């Protein structure tokens, strides 16, 4: 089966000469849920922005479902951007239409989807995140947690292969964290979750990558990665007091 994501030898320096990535190699299989961990400045955002061609021009290759990310291939890039759905940390970066329904319809409508198929996609996406009942409300009237779930729905309506989540648990209360976790665990998509929330990574992602200094410093089962105190200390990652990552290995 073709992997959802193949990153090979990816190296990138910003125009000011700052080297952000030094030959990253990652393969993520279809349906895997993977956490991308690392300190600030590790290169996580730079890596994510290569997945749909927002950043390019360095060395190496990125393939999404077998398609190579090539900024010169406009048709291929359009399909890759449909396949890679990014949910930003601030949902207000994605919600700008008068109603929730219009926000969720925006992406597929821009791809030419219309009529009954567009309505089906909108209602299915909202139902998957438990927000169908607010379809006709303005998004700014929703709570922060509800807006985050709607932001996930805007991406699901595109029927992506990979769902990329940037700090999905940030600014959520305990109930909101649990509700979002239940939703994400029920999705049948490949998931890459960028997070500093190590317990959330343990709950949602069986596999974790540690990106530090522009290289992959660790790649393995999440309980093993989080149980390596020396590794976490070396890369400025900390577990909450009393948290036992081995609990998730036993489940």
List pLDDT tens digits, range 188-215.
999 999 999 999 999 999 999 999 999 9
In tens, the pLDDT along 41-61 reads: 899 999 999 999 999 888 999
In tens, the pLDDT along 87-144 reads: 999 999 999 999 999 999 999 999 899 999 999 999 999 999 999 999 999 999 999 9
Q: What's the CATH number where 92 sits?
A: 3.40.50.300
Rounded to a whole number of angstroms, the CA Rg of the chain reads: 18
Do 148 and 197 form a contact (C-beta atoms < 8 A)? no
Give the count of beta carbons closer than 10 Å to the beta carbon of residue 136: 10
Can you tell me the mean pLDDT for 13-29?
95
Domain count, the chain: 1
- Burial (CB < 10 A; 0-12, 13-18, 19+), residue 188, is exposed
Can you tell me the mean pLDDT for 4-21?
95
Cα–Cα distance measured from residue 140 to residue 100, given in angstroms and rounded to the nearest whole number: 9
Cα–Cα distance measured from residue 93 to residue 151, given in angstroms and rounded to the nearest whole number: 9
Cα–Cα distance measured from residue 149 to residue 125, given in angstroms and rounded to the nearest whole number: 10
Domain around 13: 5-250
The predicted pLDDT at position 200 comes to: 95
Which of 81, 90, 250, 65 lies closest to 168, judged by CA? 90
Cα–Cα distance measured from residue 161 to residue 111, given in angstroms and rounded to the nearest whole number: 16
The predicted pLDDT at position 62 comes to: 96
Cα–Cα distance measured from residue 139 to residue 56, given in angstroms and rounded to the nearest whole number: 33
Mean of the per-residue pLDDT values of the chain: 94
Q: What are the structure tokens assigned to 10, written together?
A: 């990816």
pTM confidence score? 0.93
Cα–Cα distance measured from residue 182 to residue 43, given in angstroms and rounded to the nearest whole number: 29
């Amino acid at each position: 089966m073709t992997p959802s994501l193949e990153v090979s030898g990816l190296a990138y320096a910003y125009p000011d000469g700052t080297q952000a990535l030094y030959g990253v190699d990652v393969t993520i299989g279809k349906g895997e849920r993977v956490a991308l961990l690392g300190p600030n400045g590790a290169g996580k955002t730079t890596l994510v922005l290569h997945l749909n061609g927002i950043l390019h021009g360095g060395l190496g290759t990125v393939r999404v479902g077998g398609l190579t990310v090539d900024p010169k291939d406009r048709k291929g890039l359009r399909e890759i951007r449909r396949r890679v759905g990014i949910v930003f940390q601030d949902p207000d970066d994605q919600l700008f239409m008068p109603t929730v329904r219009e926000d969720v319809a925006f992406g597929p409508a821009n791809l030419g989807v219309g009529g009954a198929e567009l309505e089906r996609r909108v209602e299915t996406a909202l139902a998957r995140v438990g927000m169908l009942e607010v379809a006709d409300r303005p998004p700014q009237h929703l709570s922060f947690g509800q807006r985050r779930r709607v932001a996930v729905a805007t991406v699901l309506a595109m029927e992506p292969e990979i769902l990329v989540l940037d700090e999905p648990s940030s600014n959520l209360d305990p109930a909101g964290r649990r509700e979002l976790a239940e939703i994400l665990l029920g999705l049948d998509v490949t998931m890459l979750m960028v997070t500093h929330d190590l317990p959330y990574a343990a709950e949602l992602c069986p596999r974790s990558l540690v990106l530090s200094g522009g290289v992959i410093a660790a790649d393995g089962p999440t309980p093993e990665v989080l149980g390596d105190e020396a590794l976490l200390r070396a890369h400025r990652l900390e577990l909450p007091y009393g948290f036992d990552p081995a609990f998730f290995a036993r489940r």
